[in-house]
Amino acid sequence: MAKSKSFHHGDLKRALMRSALEILDKEDVAGVTIRAVAKRAGVSHAAPANHFPDRRALLTALAAEQFAVVFDKIRAGIDAKTSDTRADLDPLDRIAVLFDSFLTYGLEYPYRYQLLWRYDLVDHEVEIVKQPADRVYDFLVGEIEKVVDRNTVDPDTVSVTIWSMMHGYLDLRMTGMFEDRRDRISGAPRAQAMLMIVRDYLHDLGSRV
């Protein structure tokens, strides 16, 4: 196995994280062990101890970093569309960007995506994970709150509905159960057609306010 690029003094943690990500992308989470990561980084198996006392700490740090990556993708997607349209996106369009960002990320990096939700391997209660993970979910809730009336609809329930649909569809795409087909009526890719249904529902809720 090829080693990662050499690191400068004081950059061991970054080198270990990079090595862990490289192994994760090739071998799934089962291949990400302290010993394997140290070997790929070109250090002794005891060297990571100061930064990652055990495998769970390493995987937790990796998941925290990837939650931040996903959020950055969402923000970049919004900025790109805003630049194209030269106008602010409405909440439903911003939700669509979130959906598309997760779909693109999960299909391109399936092992990274799967790691995010591994409660048996990742400590989701520590702040380094909670903060970036909550930022993504709170973004979704915040956009829904702009559309619905809290007195008649619980934004969290709507958020969980969209969250479940998004991750359920992505999981089924990743396992090969669903193919990337188009909606027979609109001609849109399946994921976009699904979002159209959600958009119509949220637009209908908003029109009642």
> Residue 180: pLDDT band by 50, 70, 90 thresholds?
confident
Q: Summarize pLDDT for 195-205 with one digit per residue, the tens.
A: 888 878 777 76
Residue 2 resides in a domain: no
Share of the chain above pLDDT 90, in %: 63
* pLDDT, average across residues 98-107: 94
- Specify whether 141 is located in the same domain as 194: yes
Q: pTM of the predicted model, to two decimals?
A: 0.85
- Specify whether 18 is located in the same domain as 104: no
Q: Summarize pLDDT for 128-145 with one digit per residue, the tens.
A: 999 999 999 999 999 999
- Specify whether 19 is located in the same domain as 108: no
Which residue stretches of the chain are H helix? 12-27, 34-41, 55-85, 91-108, 110-116, 127-145, 155-174, 190-207
Residue 3 resides in a domain: no
CATH number at residue 133: 1.10.357.10
pLDDT at 8: 46
> Residue 67: pLDDT band by 50, 70, 90 thresholds?
very high
- Specify whether 115 is located in the same domain as 134: yes
Q: Summarize pLDDT for 8-66 with one digit per residue, the tens.
A: 445 899 999 999 999 999 999 999 999 999 999 999 989 898 899 999 999 999 999 99
Q: What is the CA radius of gyration of the chain?
A: 20
The answer, yes or no, to whether residue 208 has pLDDT greater than 60, is: no
- Specify whether 107 is located in the same domain as 179: yes
Instruction: Let me know the angle formed at the C-alpha of 55 by 51 and 166, rounded to the nearest 5 degrees.
Output: 110
The answer, yes or no, to whether residue 160 has pLDDT greater than 70, is: yes
Which token pair is 173?
A: 């795409």
Half-sphere exposure of 7 toward its Cβ, with a 13 Å CA cutoff?
A: 18
Q: Summarize pLDDT for 75-91 with one digit per residue, the tens.
A: 999 999 888 777 788 88
Do 190 and 197 touch, CB atoms closer than 8 A?
A: no
- Structural domain of residue 15, as residue ranges? 9-52
pLDDT at 207: 55
The whole-angstrom separation of Cα 121 and Cα 130 is 15
pLDDT at 200: 81
Q: What is the largest CA-CA distance in the chain?
A: 63
